[in-house]
Amino acid sequence: MFKQGSMIAAALAVASAPAFAGSASEPAPDPVVSTPAPAPAPASPNWTGPYLGGQIGFGNVDTNVPNVDGDGAIGGLSAGYDYDFGQWVVGGGLDYDWADISLGTGAPTLENVFRAKLRGGYKVGNGLIYGTGGYANADTDTLGDEDGYFVGAGYEHMVTQNVSLGGEVLYHEFDDFNSTTTDVEATTVQLRGSFRF
């Protein structure tokens, strides 16, 4: 009986030995879970380079002569070059618009407007808010043409790396049109699209 009890005790001691041995070892460390790095902010588009495009919209023409005014569609082509300084963009360009804006019965009709422009703007995301101004020439069917100036503002948005869309409002002034006493003011509102190289 004693012998049998000793054997049972010895068997239990041998069976429990691995458990005691395992409990003396250090527990395995928890796996390290690394936090993924935040995605980089999308790069702001680079506006540096030449562009070609077109515009279409509405023009309103007023004069200092009673009942000599008119409005209608205006649109044409544009070309230019911009330089990106980081947050600011400056550039220059040329616009040529065709028009058929009659200023009344027996009065001239505005046929086209040419502009040589400078612009400067501030980048907002993929867009550019800018001011512009420069030289303008207006041509009519019967009164000839006259040099003047324009000022305005616009917004342009980069849709893809090479395509931008926007809008522009310009105010033009032509004093003493073709050596007459007629002063002409014109305001244009146009949508613009450009392909950038």
Q: Which residues sit opposite 158 in a β-bridge?
A: 164
pTM above 0.85, yes or no: no
pLDDT tens per residue, range 52-106 = 999 999 999 999 999 999 999 999 999 999 999 999 999 999 999 999 999 999 8
**Which pLDDT belongs to residue 11?**
55
Q: According to the 3-state scheme, what is the secondary structure of 92-153? A: EEEEEEEEEEECCCCCCEEEEEEEEEEEEEEEECCEEEEEEEEEEEEEECCCCEEEEEEEEE
49-196 CATH:
2.40.160.20
* CA pair distance 72, 100, nearest whole angstrom: 7
* CA pair distance 149, 94, nearest whole angstrom: 13
Delimit the domains of the chain by residue range.
49-196
**Which pLDDT belongs to residue 44?**
82
CA-based max dimension of the chain: 139
* CA pair distance 197, 182, nearest whole angstrom: 42
**Which pLDDT belongs to residue 9?**
56
Minimal CA–CA distance to 150: which of 178, 169, 173?
Answer: 173
Low-confidence ranges of the chain (pLDDT < 70): 1-28, 33, 37-42
Tokens 């703007």 -> residue: 121
